[in-house]
């Protein structure tokens, strides 16, 4: 969920709650106010009625003094001498033929020898209308306020968080192949300034570490070759001596291990050279020719394993690349398809303007296909270094191409997309 | 045949000389640029092995001097730099061949022989090994005068074997020979086994003796005698 969405949701939820509670409170408050007002008026009127009653006379003039309905009822024995009781009620209006709300005051009065219960009423229609009007206006005002606050919130949000989003964008852009030091600029907002400062510190460290690592791999792959040459050459000399079977095997193992080590550091050196942008010379690459060349190269091996190869060329990518890297790319892909194939299996190569697809039969790799691009990840197929595909990925990354690996039902498929993904 | 080996690592020097000894070359050592330059002005050599990274300078100085003096000796560069541009540069300066460290001695031996053949006989030499006769110029081989139908790879292997006749050759060296310089060198040797199998079959069908011996755990040996 976006930060803005989240804050807006909170804002709306809380506003609605406050709005509702406030409205309810206001309504109750206003009703009380009106009730007090009406009650005070009714009291005033009843006292006026009392004053009009002649203690010796009957209730003669009383009927005429009230503009609003008044009920007088003779009763026998009052429980209390004089009480005032308020209550809400409805009365039938003959004119409109509807019931209308009224406030009623009931009191008992002594006129002459008799006791009377007097009920006077005050219509609540106007007060209720007033409350409704006030409520409506308040609601409108609150809604207006809410709307205003919403847009203000959005506006302030984009203003206040502007630096933050700039930082976020820079983090997304961050790439070790084109490292940029001190990429995060200062901000007026202390928190964001701190964030940027820490990010600068962190990325500088990452860049430095990465540079160091690159230098280390570069040097290592170079420096290790001379001692390895000594091991290899001395072993080769020892092979020439008359040895027994066991000694031959041991010498063979040493030689084999030295070769593997040499190949590994050489591959790492290649990756380091790609990382160091040492393949600057580019030229248009004819992938069709490269594929045909490699196909010819592997033909004897494929024949010996009964592997059928089909090629389909429906187009040529229009791409500038380093020739050596293009060769390594195609070689590694085809070699991979030949090696991890089944006896009497197949290889299908399809080249189009957009992509190069190589599918082949083969066992289940046993690990997620994406992992096969990692260094030294070989899946279930033991006996290989597992560095060929990581070189493939490095080269495709270097030229902004895409690469994906699919496996389904004993069929492996690697697709190199020439257009940036 | 006089060889000047310019390489600063004494162990590698020693290995090269030991391996090449049976070939009957006169090997002379130089460990730095200064000595090497001094030696090439005083004596003549048929072939130069030059390491590029030397303690007092770059091996290219020696190549440039040789070319300037129009020296006829063959030049093989040996270096730990494996980038193609380094290779192209060395060849542009006038080197005849280029070997990346760590190289196989059998490979070096084959390259030296091939280079000497090219210089001395302009390549048009035929090589005899037992009943075999090889014409490198035409990529052809015969057994007792009968031509062998070999693929390019099989011919390359046969040539490599003959160049290193009597020596134990590791299967890795053959794989190197077949796969070329590979960023991801294979140690599954299917390809080598398949090629050797085919080559053996063809030699046998042509009525040759069993020249290729298997050395268990190591590789092969091509024995003429």
Cβ–Cβ below 8 Å for B172 and A331: no
Least confident of A91-95, A238-242, A343-347: A91-95
pLDDT band at B136 (very low <50, low <70, confident <90, very high): confident
Asked if the peptide bond before residue A256 counts as cis, ω within 30 degrees of 0, the response is no
CATH of the domain at B103: 3.40.50.2300
The reply to whether B142 and B170 lie within a common domain is: yes
Chain A: nearest CA to B30, how far in angstroms? 17
What's the pLDDT score for residue A157? 86
Cβ–Cβ below 8 Å for A232 and B102: yes
Are the beta carbons of A315 and A279 closer than 8 angstroms? Answer: no
Cβ–Cβ below 8 Å for B170 and A263: no
How would you classify the pairing of strands B97-100 and B74-79? parallel
**Structural domains in chain B (count):** 2
Domain end position, chosen among B72, B90, B121 = B121
Comparing alpha-carbon positions, the chain A residue that sits nearest to B83 is A270
Are the beta carbons of B211 and B130 closer than 8 angstroms? Answer: yes
Substitution target from B82, B168, B184, B186 for chain A, most A beta carbons within 10 A: B184
The reply to whether B19 and B96 lie within a common domain is: yes
d(CA A299, CA A184): 54
Cβ–Cβ below 8 Å for A233 and B16: yes
pLDDT above 60: residue A66: no
What one-character-per-residue DSSP string does A219-285 give?
HHHHHTHHHHHHHHHHHHHHHTS---HHHHHHHHHHHHHHHHHHHHHHHHHHHHHHHTT-----EE-
The reply to whether B65 and B98 lie within a common domain is: yes
Q: Which of A263, A254, A247 is nearest to A232 (CA)?
A: A254
CATH of the domain at B142: 1.10.10.10
Q: Which of A333, A327, A324, A325 is nearest to A388 (CA)?
A: A333
Cβ–Cβ below 8 Å for A305 and B168: no
Q: Give the start-end residues of each E strand in A49-194.
A: 70-75, 84-93, 98-111, 114-123
Burial class (CB in 10 A: 0-12, 13-18, 19+), B169: buried
The reply to whether B19 and B114 lie within a common domain is: yes
Q: CB contact, 8 Å: B150 with chain A?
A: no
Domain end position, chosen among B94, B121, B148 = B121
Domain of residue B133: give its range: 127-222
How are strands ordered across the β-sheet holding B132-135?
Answer: B127-129, B132-135, B140-143, B146-147
pLDDT above 50: residue A194: yes
Q: What is the pLDDT of residues A323-340, one digit of tens each?
A: 889 998 998 899 888 888
The reply to whether B22 and B97 lie within a common domain is: yes
What's the pLDDT score for residue A420? 65
Measured from the Cβ of residue A338, the count of other Cβ atoms closer than 10 Å reads 24
Average pLDDT over residues A166-187: 82
The reply to whether B14 and B102 lie within a common domain is: yes
d(CA A300, CA A355): 27
d(CA B80, CA A222): 6
Would you say the C-alpha torsion A136, A138, A142, A145 has a positive or negative sign? positive
B182 contact residues in A (CB cutoff 8 A): 263, 331
Chain A: nearest CA to B28, how far in angstroms? 18
Task: Measure CB to CB from residue B15 to each of A233, A252, A332 and give the nearest one.
Answer: A233
Chain B: nearest CA to A366, how far in angstroms? 20
Give the position of tokens 């790439």. A175
Chain B: nearest CA to A228, how far in angstroms? 6
The reply to whether B138 and B117 lie within a common domain is: no
Average pLDDT over residues A65-86: 71
The reply to whether B41 and B96 lie within a common domain is: yes
Task: Measure CB to CB from residue A255 to each of B170, B183, B197 and give the nearest one.
Answer: B170
Average pLDDT over residues B69-82: 88
> What residues does B170 pair with on adjacent strands?
B219
Q: CB contact, 8 Å: A376 with chain B?
A: no
What's the pLDDT score for residue B45? 93
Q: CB contact, 8 Å: B182 with chain A?
A: yes
Going by CATH, does the domain composed of A283-417 fall within 3.30.565.10? yes
Q: CB contact, 8 Å: A274 with chain B?
A: no
How are strands ordered across the β-sheet holding A402-408?
Answer: A308-313, A346-351, A355-361, A411-417, A402-408
Q: Which of A301, A235, A229, A226 is nearest to B170 (CA)?
A: A235
The reply to whether B17 and B103 lie within a common domain is: yes
The reply to whether B26 and B108 lie within a common domain is: yes
A234 contact residues in B (CB cutoff 8 A): 11, 15
Are the beta carbons of A122 and A41 closer than 8 angstroms? Answer: yes
pLDDT above 50: residue B187: no
Average pLDDT over residues B135-141: 86
The reply to whether B132 and B79 lie within a common domain is: no
Cβ–Cβ below 8 Å for A339 and B172: no
The reply to whether B7 and B104 lie within a common domain is: yes
Q: CB contact, 8 Å: B140 with chain A?
A: no
Comparing alpha-carbon positions, the chain A residue that sits nearest to B154 is A300
> What residues does B169 pair with on adjacent strands?
B220
């Amino acid at each position: 969920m976006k930060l803005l969405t989240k804050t807006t949701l909170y804002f709306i939820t809380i506003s609605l709650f406050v709005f509702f509670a406030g409205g309810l409170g206001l309504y109750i408050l206003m009703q009380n106010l009106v009730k007090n007002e009406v009650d005070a008026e009714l009291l005033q009127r009843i006292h006026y009625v009392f004053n009009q009653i002649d203690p010796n006379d009957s209730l003669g003039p009383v009927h005429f003094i009230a503009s609003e309905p008044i009920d007088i009822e003779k009763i026998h024995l009052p429980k209390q001498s004089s009480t005032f009781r308020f209550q809400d009620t409805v009365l039938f209006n003959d004119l409109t033929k509807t019931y209308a709300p009224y406030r009623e005051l009931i009191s008992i009065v002594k006129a002459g020898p008799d006791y009377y219960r007097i009920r006077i009423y005050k219509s609540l229609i106007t007060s209720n209308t007033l409350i409704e009007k006030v409520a409506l206006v308040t609601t409108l005002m609150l809604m207006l306020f809410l709307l205003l606050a919403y847009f203000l919130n959005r506006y302030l949000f984009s203003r206040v968080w502007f630096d933050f989003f700039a930082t976020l964008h820079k983090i997304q852009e961050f790439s070790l192949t084109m490292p940029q030091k001190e990429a995060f600029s200062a901000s007026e907002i202390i928190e964001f300034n701190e964030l940027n400062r820490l990010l600068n510190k962190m990325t500088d460290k990452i860049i430095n570490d990465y540079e160091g690592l690159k230098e280390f791999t570069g040097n290592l792959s170079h420096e290790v070759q001379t001692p390895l040459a000594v091991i290899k050459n001395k072993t080769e000399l020892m092979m020439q001596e008359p040895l027994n079977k066991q000694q031959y095997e041991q010498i063979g193992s040493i030689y084999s291990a030295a070769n593997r080590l040499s190949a590994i550091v050489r591959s790492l050196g290649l990756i380091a050279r790609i990382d160091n942008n040492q393949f600057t010379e580019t030229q248009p690459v004819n992938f069709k020719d490269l594929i045909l060349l490699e196909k010819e190269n592997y033909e004897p091996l494929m024949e010996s394993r009964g592997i059928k190869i089909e090629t389909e060329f429906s187009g040529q990518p229009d791409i500038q690349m380093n020739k050596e890297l293009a060769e390594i790319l195609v070689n590694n892909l085809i070699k991979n398809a030949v090696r991890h194939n089944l006896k009497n299996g197949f290889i299908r190569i399809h080249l189009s303007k957009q992509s190069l697809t190589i599918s082949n039969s083969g066992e289940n790799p046993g690990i997620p296909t994406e992992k096969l691009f990692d260094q030294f990840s070989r899946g279930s197929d033991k006996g290989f270094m597992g560095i060929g595909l990581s070189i493939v990925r490095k080269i495709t990354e270097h030229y902004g191409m895409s690469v994906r690996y699919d496996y389904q039902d004993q069929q492996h498929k690697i697709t190199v997309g020439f257009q940036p993904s | 045949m006089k060889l000047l080996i310019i390489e600063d690592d004494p162990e590698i020097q020693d290995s090269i000389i030991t391996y090449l000894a049976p070939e009957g070359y006169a090997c002379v050592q130089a460990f730095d640029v200064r000595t090497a330059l001094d030696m090439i002005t005083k004596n003549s050599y048929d072939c130069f092995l030059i390491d590029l990274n030397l303690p007092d300078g770059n091996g290219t100085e020696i190549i440039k001097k040789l070319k300037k003096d129009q020296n006829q000796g063959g030049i093989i560069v040996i270096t730990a730099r494996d980038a193609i541009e380094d290779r192209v540069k060395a060849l542009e300066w006038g080197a005849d061949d280029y070997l990346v460290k760590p190289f196989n001695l059998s490979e070096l031996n084959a390259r030296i022989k091939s280079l000497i053949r090219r210089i001395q006989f302009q390549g048009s030499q035929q090589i005899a090994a037992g009943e075999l006769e090889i014409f490198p110029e035409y990529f052809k081989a015969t057994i007792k005068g009968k031509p062998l139908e070999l693929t390019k790879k099989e011919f390359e292997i046969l040539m490599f074997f003959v160049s290193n006749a009597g020596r134990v050759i590791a299967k890795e060296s053959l794989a190197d020979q077949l796969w070329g310089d590979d960023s991801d060198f294979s140690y599954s040797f299917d390809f080598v086994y398949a090629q050797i199998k085919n080559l053996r079959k063809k030699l046998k069908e042509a009525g040759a003796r069993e020249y290729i011996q298997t050395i268990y755990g190591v590789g092969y040996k091509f024995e003429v005698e």
